Chain A
Amino acid sequence: MDTELILMQLFSGVALGAILVLTALGLSIIFGMLGVVNFAHGALFMVGAYAGLWVASLTGSFWWGLLVAPVMIGLFGMLIEYFLIRPLYGRSIDDPLLLTFGLSYVLVEGVRIVFGTDGIPFPTPSALTGVLDLGVGFFPIYRIFVVGVVFVVVLLLWLGLEKTRFGLIVRAGARDPTMMRVLGVDISKVWLLVFGLGVGLASLGGVLSGPMRSVNPEMGSLVLAEAFVVTVIGGLGSLLGSIIAGLAVGIVISMTALFAPEMATIVMFALMALVLLIRPQGLFGKLA
């Protein structure tokens, strides 16, 4: 086994991990703020990929799909929060979870009705095809692009949360929503925006992963399980945890694929079990 192959596989793991980071961040932000585990997250990832494909085929440009689809699905997420999840606040924490699970059935079946049950190939945009020679090996340009986009999005997210007034409200609202109400902040508007943001991140992940795996109605169910594994390892509600665990899981999956392909999907669950044994609250999670 030569180092070049290992390096390439390592990089593929980083690209895979970058997508995982996006989905897990969305899940984690929604949970940290609203206390809701969004079981429709995988389905919305899939809907995002289809929306990207649809916009790209309408406009003839991948870039419009990449820009418009996450915004579109993010707005759709806001509708979900407003009409379906909002009535459940104050009830058992299991209720929003059950509702979003039912919703994922509706979304998957809805996509099957509109786009058919078979997978659709998602062409890589022509500007991003090919490989780049970095001296140590050849790396697919599209994957480099994915890692770059995720890096920029995470950076913007971090700046938004740490340096802006809205970010301050979000962080304070996650700690004590009642106090924010007393201070005169309409916290329900913040919840609406945060849910939309989380869903938008999931669907951005969907669009980005489109050219890497084909787009089909079932693609969300593996994504949901992966996002759960990442957030459990990183600690639910911890953004840094999602980022580190997402990259780690991506790298572990693709390195296992190199040495023992049949273990590739199994290994991340084993990693999660190990973390649960040592630190049940996750690597960066606080004790509940």
Chain B
Amino acid sequence: MTSPALAEPLPSSVRKPGRVKSLMTTYRVPLSIIALCLLPWLLPSKALAVNVLIYGVVAVGYNLLFGYTGLLSFGHAAFVGAGAYITGIAIGQFGVPWYAAVLLGVLGGGLLAFAIGALSTRTRGIYFSMVTLALAQLVYYVALQASSWTGGENGLRGFTVNKINLLGYDINFLDPVNKYYVLMAFAALALWVVSRILNSPFGAAIEAIRENERRARTCGYNVERTKLLSFTLSGTICALGGTMSALHLAFVPLDSLHYHASGMIVMMTLLGGASSFFGPFVGALVFLVMEDVFSLWTSHWQIIVGSIFVLFVLFLPKGIWGTFLARFVR
């Protein structure tokens, strides 16, 4: 005889995934890369595709913290911006080769994430969002004041990368298709790293913290250290996105550090779906395509995007991709 409680179906998150779903989870990195290879040929312009790539990396990295660890940071623009600024300064003012500049940008952004994470993970609950926002604004004002390094309000210029030397071949980096596929290699690497993190025991630990922090603590996990590590990893991947954007634009606007830029990352992640691996990428795609289309009609496109975001929070909190997965993929 079964007790009535056992006869009830388990919630979908606990239920054993069906064949399609488990295949999609196992091969999520190769499937994502196939989608990325096709992307520039499906979008109206190659520049838009490069942007989707960059913000896709940023949103996926951000989602490691937001979707999987359950921490709503409003300061990730600081790490994206730090990656971009460090890469730009390294190339423009020190003549460092581009690959070393990328490495420096990623490491520097990661270090900043460690510092801000160390302070903000000391706080609990709703404080966390406010503290990350405030600390990231500190970075914004420091960049504004340190204008001899950062160009202040005008942003950072003067570090154009024309050619990339790869295994003896010179690749023309000004060609949008070349640029896309070079940057795609970085995006693929980032997706693989995030997927590896999520498959590791550490990935299980951050999800345990998201589901129930007290229980995770009781199970013996060092919650503070796990949160800090997740924050640092997430910031590091965002910094990679930042260095990609610096290579792409040959320009770092000061506004890339503002908390509105952080909010944009949050919006993208939520529009696509924070509960899924590829959702944030879909969110970045949808957000940037919306921006592209609406800004043709009106300079006030933000009012449309903001309203759509409000409607999503109210009625579709799982986002586009998350809702699609929940409804059609078993």
B263 touches A101 (CB 8 A): yes
B122 at the binding interface (Cβ < 8 Å): yes
**Of all chain B residues, which has the CB nearest A27?**
B130
User: Of residues A88, A93, A221, A269, which shows the largest number of chain B Cβ atoms within 10 Å of its Cβ?
Assistant: A269
Pick the contact of A232 from B131, B138, B317 — CB < 8 Å?
A: B131
B130 touches A232 (CB 8 A): yes
**Chain B positions within 8 Å of A228 at CB level:** 130-131, 133-134
A62 at the binding interface (Cβ < 8 Å): no
A213 to chain B, nearest CB (A): 17
Q: Flag B104-140 by CB within 8 Å of A: 1 or 0 each.
A: 0000000000000001101111110111011101100
**Chain A positions within 8 Å of B310 at CB level:** 84, 99, 102-103, 106
B260 touches A221 (CB 8 A): yes
User: Of residues A35, A84, A221, A229, which shows the largest number of chain B Cβ atoms within 10 Å of its Cβ?
Assistant: A229
B125 touches A225 (CB 8 A): no
B259 at the binding interface (Cβ < 8 Å): yes
A136 at the binding interface (Cβ < 8 Å): no
Q: Report Cα–Cα, A273/B139, bound state, in Å.
A: 12
B314 touches A99 (CB 8 A): yes
Q: Which of B22-30, B184-192, B298-306 contacts A (4 or more CB under 8 A)?
A: B298-306
B314 touches A232 (CB 8 A): no
Interface range for A: 35 or more
Q: Flag B262-294 by CB within 8 Å of A: 1 or 0 each.
A: 010011001000000000000000000000000
B37 at the binding interface (Cβ < 8 Å): no
Interface range for B: 35 or more
B314 to chain A, nearest CB (A): 6
Q: Report Cα–Cα, A113/B307, bound state, in Å.
A: 15
A262 at the binding interface (Cβ < 8 Å): yes
Main secondary structure of the interface of A (DSSP, over half): helix
A97 at the binding interface (Cβ < 8 Å): yes
A276 touches B123 (CB 8 A): yes
A112 touches B300 (CB 8 A): yes
**Chain A positions within 8 Å of B131 at CB level:** 228, 232, 272, 276
User: Of residues A94, A104, A236, A277, which shows the largest number of chain B Cβ atoms within 10 Å of its Cβ?
Assistant: A94
**Chain A positions within 8 Å of B74 at CB level:** 101
A98 touches B300 (CB 8 A): no
B72 at the binding interface (Cβ < 8 Å): yes
The number of inter-chain residue pairs (CB within 8 angstroms) is 115
**Of all chain B residues, which has the CB nearest A262?**
B145
**Of all chain A residues, which has the CB nearest B123?**
A280
**Of all chain A residues, which has the CB nearest B121?**
A280
A24 to chain B, nearest CB (A): 11
B119 touches A101 (CB 8 A): no
Pick the contact of A101 from B123, B141, B258, B266 — CB < 8 Å?
A: B266
A86 to chain B, nearest CB (A): 11
Q: Report Cα–Cα, A273/B141, bound state, in Å.
A: 15
A105 touches B313 (CB 8 A): no
B125 touches A288 (CB 8 A): yes
A198 to chain B, nearest CB (A): 15
A233 to chain B, nearest CB (A): 10
**Chain B positions within 8 Å of A123 at CB level:** none
**Chain B positions within 8 Å of A272 at CB level:** 131, 134-135
**Chain A positions within 8 Å of B122 at CB level:** 276-277, 280
Q: Report Cα–Cα, A288/B127, bound state, in Å.
A: 10
A195 at the binding interface (Cβ < 8 Å): no
B126 touches A99 (CB 8 A): no
**Chain B positions within 8 Å of A108 at CB level:** 302
B270 to chain A, nearest CB (A): 6
B149 to chain A, nearest CB (A): 14
A106 touches B135 (CB 8 A): no
B217 to chain A, nearest CB (A): 14
A265 at the binding interface (Cβ < 8 Å): yes
**Of all chain A residues, which has the CB nearest B144?**
A265
B267 touches A225 (CB 8 A): no
Q: Which are the 6 A-B pairs with shortest beta-carbon distances?
A: A105-B306, A269-B138, A109-B303, A102-B309, A106-B306, A102-B310
The 6 sampled A-B contact pairs (Cβ below 8 Å) are A88-B313, A101-B263, A102-B267, A109-B300, A112-B300, A232-B134
Using a CB–CB distance below 8 Å, which chain A residues touch chain B? 31, 35, 37, 84, 87-88, 91, 93-95, 97-99, 101-106, 108-110, 112-113, 221, 224-225, 228-229, 231-232, 236, 262-263, 265-266, 269-270, 272-273, 276-277, 280-281, 288
